[in-house]
Structure 1
Amino acid sequence: MKQESLRKQARRIGPQIERQWFEARSLKSTILTGITWLVAIGGAIPLFSIIYMLVTQGGERLDFEALVELPPAGFDMGGGFGNAIVGTLVMVAIAAAISVPFGILAAIYLAIIGPYTKIAKTSRFVAKTLTGFPSILAGLFTYIVMVKSFGYSALAGGIALAVLMLPTVLLAAEEAMKQVPVRMTDAAYGMGCTRAQVITKVVLPTGLPGIMTGVMLAVAGAAGESAPLLFTALFSNYYMEELMEPTASLSILIYNFSAMPFDNQIQLAWAASLVLVLIILVFNILARLIGRSKH
């Protein structure tokens, strides 16, 4: 009875809108939607095939020994890539410790202090240009600045990754700060807050989810880099003891072992690839979860 009364009320209000499947706009929308789904499925096939290969090939060799042992040599069996996991995490942590503070401070200037100054416009242009900067050039830059004077090291690798992370952190942080409602900052100024207090008490806490999303995406991208580390950290078959020495990383271990004619090393390369993908996946999931917290 209630549904019938609703139908009668709808008829009184006006004619019901029904989709005409063979009407030009409806047909065009259906065709474009179908093409979009086909393109999406076609693009997902290579991705899922790679994931399937990593799980089947790398999963067989992935165990606790592989996660903690040192890389084997030559015809030796067993071994692992524990030193590469530690080296990767250390260099990414160094890169984050450098790029995140500088990126956020620069974003504060670009978004709040001097958004329309010449230096701000130039900095935005440079940051956007650096987002497409070939990663190998970041390694070459760090090689000239650090490696030629102090040698290959985890610190040099971290600095090279920081060069790549900085533009992503800066642009994401600036955009997050711009999304803070103007009425919130105006209210804070109206209550007598200084600009420093508005930044630290209003802008940064409100924009924190967006800032952290940018940081997580930058970290995920840096974790998978290999070209800069060839010029800066090189590689080592041992666990890192200090920052100023050559250091192993997952990406370089995969590069080295995948070209070897030994089955054990090739299996370890597959397992290391799976671990690296899982690390990047974790950071991407964290970025999505933090991003959703804005809503």
Structure 2
Amino acid sequence: MKWNKRKIIDRVMSFLTAACVAIAIIPLLSILYTVTVNGISAINLDFLTQIPRPVGEAGGGLGNAIEGTFIVVGIACLIGLPVGILAGVYLSEYGENRFGRTVSFVADVLTGTPSIVAGMFGYTFIVLYFGSFSAIAGGVALSVLMIPIVTRTTEESLRLVPGSIKEASLALGIPKWKTTLYIVISTARSGIITGALLSIARISGETAPLLFTSFGNMFWANGLDKPISTMPVQIYTYAITPFPDWHAKAWGGALVLIVLILILNIGVRFVTRKKYSV
């Protein structure tokens, strides 16, 4: 009787866990299916390479928004990756003090900060100061969201490096900074790359910060100090209009954005699998 009771409990728990997985997966698959069905018809070469056209006019696309997204995310990476990685190295190797604990606390707070706060930061300190929306302002706002993610993932990756490796290096007379740079970081390289890719995927779909900073336009980028079109903002702009042809382009843009983020996540899985493969 006791064996039967255990078997029943095991079956019930297996069913409940499977049901929870289905509850989590079904909405995601539904979103992916809906975006694909509604967006695939808009995808063609012109859609990926041309700028938007007026309502009712055939053709046109989101080429400028794709270009702008790469530019803004690139600026964010130039700022966020070095700062985040170096901050993570400091917290892991030298952060056992009050300043390190303060930095760690700030990173945790920033990780949970709503993205619109980063947009308001960029608007207040860059847009208002220079008197114009710009790609630089958008990149800075996104870097604010990127830095805490990179910092935390870098710190955790470095803490996973066995202490025996560090001790062996120090025992050979190698300075701590060289041990950190050439041995510890090299050993944790896969984890650091994974964190960087995850942070890029995180910021690539953000809309609120860019509405306050880069704003958007309907043309190709003509300078980092000018408003620039991005995929999330362009999708939002098209989606809130009453025009069916722009709605179709919004679905197409959403599909392109999902594919780009999916590629980044596949890259993360590839790096992670390579890291833990024998």
TM-score relative to the length of structure 1? 0.90
How far residue 263 of structure 1 moved from its aligned partner, in angstroms, is: 1.9
> Which deviations, in whole Å up to 9, do the C-alpha atoms of 1:150-197 show, x marking residues without a partner?
210000000000000000000000000001111111111111101111
1:168 counterpart residue number: 149
1:294 counterpart residue number: 275
In the alignment, the residues of structure 2 paired with residue 35 and residue 136 of structure 1 have an alpha-carbon distance, to the nearest angstrom, of 37
How many pairs are equivalent? 275
- 2:120 touches 2:209 (CA, 8 Å); kept in 1? yes
2:236 counterpart residue number: 255
In the alignment, the residues of structure 1 paired with residue 122 and residue 178 of structure 2 have an alpha-carbon distance, to the nearest angstrom, of 37
In the alignment, the residues of structure 2 paired with residue 162 and residue 149 of structure 1 have an alpha-carbon distance, to the nearest angstrom, of 18
2:14 counterpart residue number: 33
Q: Which runs of 4+ in 1 moved over 3 A?
A: 20-26
**2:188 aligned counterpart, secondary structure:** helix
Amino acid at match of 1:120: G
1:183 matched to 2:164:
yes
How far residue 238 of structure 1 moved from its aligned partner, in angstroms, is: 0.5
Q: Percent identity?
A: 36
2:111 counterpart residue number: 131
1:84 counterpart residue number: 65
How far residue 21 of structure 1 moved from its aligned partner, in angstroms, is: 9.2
Q: Name stretches of at least 5 consecutive residues in structure 2 with no aligned partner.
A: none
**2:57 aligned counterpart, secondary structure:** coil
- 1:164 touches 1:222 (CA, 8 Å); kept in 2? yes
Amino acid at match of 2:162: P
- How does 1:27-66 map onto structure 2 within 5 Å? 27-66=8-47
- How does 1:77-226 map onto structure 2 within 5 Å? 77-113=58-94, 115-150=95-130, 151-226=132-207
Amino acid at match of 1:124: S
- 2:55 touches 2:245 (CA, 8 Å); kept in 1? no
How far residue 229 of structure 1 moved from its aligned partner, in angstroms, is: 0.2
Moved more, 28-37 or 210-219: 28-37
In the alignment, the residues of structure 1 paired with residue 150 and residue 24 of structure 2 have an alpha-carbon distance, to the nearest angstrom, of 28
For the pair shown, the structure with the greater C-alpha radius of gyration is: 1
Please tell me the root mean square deviation across aligned C-alpha atoms, in Å: 1.3
TM-score relative to the length of structure 2? 0.96
In the alignment, the residues of structure 2 paired with residue 260 and residue 271 of structure 1 have an alpha-carbon distance, to the nearest angstrom, of 15
How far residue 22 of structure 1 moved from its aligned partner, in angstroms, is: 4.7
In the alignment, the residues of structure 2 paired with residue 84 and residue 218 of structure 1 have an alpha-carbon distance, to the nearest angstrom, of 20
